[in-house]
Amino acid sequence: MQIAIVLYKNFTTLDAVGPYEILASLPGAETVFVAEQTGPVLNDRGQVSIVATKSFAEVPRPDIVVVPGGPGEADQLENKALLDWLRAVDATTTWTTSVCTGSLALAAAGLLKGRRAASHWLALETLAGLGVEATGERVVFDGKYVTAAGVSSGIDMGLTLAGKIAGDRVAQAIQLMTEYDPQPPYDAGSPDKAPADLVEQMRTRSRS
Amino acid sequence: MQIAIVLYKNFTTLDAVGPYEILASLPGAETVFVAEQTGPVLNDRGQVSIVATKSFAEVPRPDIVVVPGGPGEADQLENKALLDWLRAVDATTTWTTSVCTGSLALAAAGLLKGRRAASHWLALETLAGLGVEATGERVVFDGKYVTAAGVSSGIDMGLTLAGKIAGDRVAQAIQLMTEYDPQPPYDAGSPDKAPADLVEQMRTRSRS
Give the tens place of pLDDT for each residue, B43-58: 999 989 999 999 999 9
Q: Which amino acid is at B113?
A: K
CB atoms B14 and A18 under 8 Å: yes
What is the layout of strands, in order, in the sheet containing B64-67?
A: B54-55, B30-35, B2-6, B64-67, B95-98, B145-148, B139-142
* Average pLDDT of span B102-131: 97
Per the CB < 8 A criterion, the answer to whether B41 and B49 are in contact is: yes
Residue B207, pLDDT score: 86
Identify from A23, A177, A203, A204 which residue to disrupt to test chain B contact, counting B C-beta atoms within 10 A and taking the largest count: A177
**Phi, psi dihedrals of residue B195, rounded to the nearest 5°:** -55, 135
pLDDT at B39: 97
Cα Rg of chain B, angstroms: 16
What is the side-by-side strand order in the sheet with A49-52?
A39-42, A49-52, B49-52, B39-42
Give contacts of B184 with chain A, Cβ < 8 Å: 155-156, 159, 175, 180-182
Other Cβ atoms within 10 Å of B65 Cβ, number: 24
Confidence at residue B94, expressed as pLDDT on a 0 to 100 scale: 98
- Spatial distance between the Cα atoms of A60 and B47, rounded to a whole number of angstroms: 19
Q: How far apart, in whole angstroms, are the C-alpha atoms of residue B161 and residue B131?
A: 25
Indicate which residue of A6, A89, A100, A157 is catalytic: A100
Mean pLDDT of A33-48: 96
Residue A205's contacts (CB-CB under 8 Å, 6 or more residues apart) are none
Contact A175 B188 (CB under 8 A): yes
Q: Are residues A10 and A43 in contact, defined by beta-carbon separation less than 8 angstroms? A: yes
Interface test mutation site (partner A, options B20, B160, B181, B204, max chain A beta carbons within 10 A): B181
- List, in sequence order, the alpha helices (H) in chain A: 13-23, 73-77, 80-90, 102-108, 124-128, 153-166, 168-177, 196-207
Q: Is B105 on the interface with A (CB under 8 A)?
A: no
Q: Which residues of A touch B177 (CB under 8 A)?
A: 150-151, 202
Q: What angle do CA B120, B124, B125 make, to 5 degrees?
A: 145
Name the minimum distance, in Å, from the CA of A147 to any CA of chain B. Answer: 14
d(CA A181, CA A149): 19
d(CA A124, CA A118): 7
* CA dihedral over A194, A141, A70, A31, signed as positive or negative: positive
Residue A110 burial (CB count, 10 A): 13
> Which of these, B152, B75, B149, lies nearest to B119 by C-alpha position?
B149
DSSP code per residue over B143-170: TTEEEE-STTHHHHHHHHHHHHHH-HHH
Contact A199, B176 (CB under 8 A): yes
Q: Looking at the predicted structure, is the pLDDT value of residue B165 above 90? A: yes
Is A56 touching B (CB cutoff 8 A)?
A: no
Residue A92 to chain B, least CA–CA distance (Å): 23
Q: Does the pLDDT value for residue A41 go beyond 80?
A: yes
What average pLDDT does range A69-86 have in this prediction? 95
Q: Is A144 on the interface with B (CB under 8 A)?
A: no
Gyration radius of chain A over CA positions:
16
Q: How confident is the model at residue A208 (pLDDT cuts 50, 70, 90)?
A: confident
**pLDDT value of residue A54:** 98
Judge: A100–B179 Cβ closer than 8 Å, yes or no.
yes
Q: What is the pLDDT of residue B67?
A: 98
The partner residues of B3 in beta bridges, in order of sequence, read: B31, B64
Helix (H) or strand (E) holding A76: helix A73-77
Q: Is B74 helix (H, G, I), strand (E, B) or coil?
A: helix
For residue A46, the one-letter residue type is: G
Amino acid in the structure at residue A187: D
Average pLDDT score over chain A: 97
The whole-angstrom separation of Cα A3 and Cα A24 is 8
Q: Does domain B2-182 have CATH number 3.40.640.10?
A: no
If one looks up domain A2-207 in CATH, what number appears?
Answer: 3.40.50.880
A171:B186 CB<8 A: yes
Task: Check residue A146 and give its pLDDT.
Answer: 98
Q: What is the mean pLDDT of residues B17-30?
A: 97
Residues 74-93 of A with CB under 8 A from B: none
- A135 interface with B at CB cutoff 8 Å: no
Active site residues of B: 100
Q: How confident is the model at residue A120 (pLDDT cuts 50, 70, 90)?
A: very high
Partners of A198 on chain B (C-beta within 8 Å) are: 169, 172-173, 176
Per-residue model confidence as pLDDT tens digits over A130-140: 999 999 999 99
The answer on pLDDT for B195 being more than 90 is yes
Ranges of each domain in chain B: 2-182
Write the residue in A13, A176, A195 that is nearest to B198 by C-beta: A176
CB A43 within 8 A of CB A12: yes
Res. B208: pLDDT tops 80: no
Q: Which residues of A touch B46 (CB under 8 A)?
A: none
Query: Does position A88 have pLDDT exceeding 90, yes or no?
Result: yes
CB-based contact, A165 to chain B, within 8 Å:
no
**What percent of chain A shows pLDDT beyond 90?**
97
Whether residue A37 has pLDDT greater than 90:
yes
Yes or no, beta carbons of A53 and B47 under 8 Å apart: yes
